[in-house]
Amino acid sequence: MKEIWLIRHGETEWNAQKRFQGHLDVPLSPVGIGQAFRLAQRLARSGLPFDSLHASDLRRARETAEPLAAVLGLTLKTTPLLREIDVGALAGLNREEAEARYPEFFRTALQDPWYTPRPGGESMADLARRLEAFLETLPSGRHLLVAHGGTIRAALKLVLGLEGNTWRRFHIPNTSITRILLPGGEVLTVSDAAHLETWADWLSDESLK
């Protein structure tokens, strides 16, 4: 059995500005760096053993994974198979700019968001195929994968066998944890970002005694 912990990278400035990033190598913002360290602290405190740590080779994923590697004593391995969807010509644009320049793409994607490729880029189906190829290479065990929102939504669609456009309804916050079991196709956790909740700054076991 494979227990896969899918983690979205920390926030970037382009996330905050709601710009399409795709394969562009955007670094973490100061907020994102803080999120990555809070995630690392949480997993270090958990005491759970992990068999491997993998990340998308894009900088925002690597920078999120590096604190995990340090606190968990794991070797970080990167791969382009875990990258975000290639948004092609949409990269760097916000939604309003993209819709103005590529109205036909958005009309087509509204009807079929899974198979419609971004202009000059990938479709979600393309992303899912490379994700599946990577997941098949993993042996049994508990594995950490630092990736992207699109990658994690694709994983949920594949594991749950979701029909239609329901996969789009998952909200995947930065540094949130989504846990799946393979090959059983079970989902244990979706978008767990408790380490970013405000109560986590003051609530502790000591305060409950």
CA distances from 60 to 22, 77, 128 (A): 11, 14, 20
Catalytic residue among 84, 143, 148, 195: 84
Q: Is 84 a catalytic residue?
A: yes
Q: Is 54 a catalytic residue?
A: no
Burial class (CB in 10 A: 0-12, 13-18, 19+), 154: buried
Residues 163, 186: Cα–Cα separation, whole Å = 16
Provide the H-helix boundaries in 112-163. Answer: 124-137, 149-160
Catalytic residue among 3, 9, 54, 148: 9
Q: How far apart are the first and last CA of the chain?
A: 38
Q: Which amino acid is at 81?
A: L
Q: Does residue 86 come out as left (phi exceeding 0), alpha (psi in the -120 to 50 range) or beta?
A: beta
Indicate which residues carry an active-site annotation. Answer: 9, 84
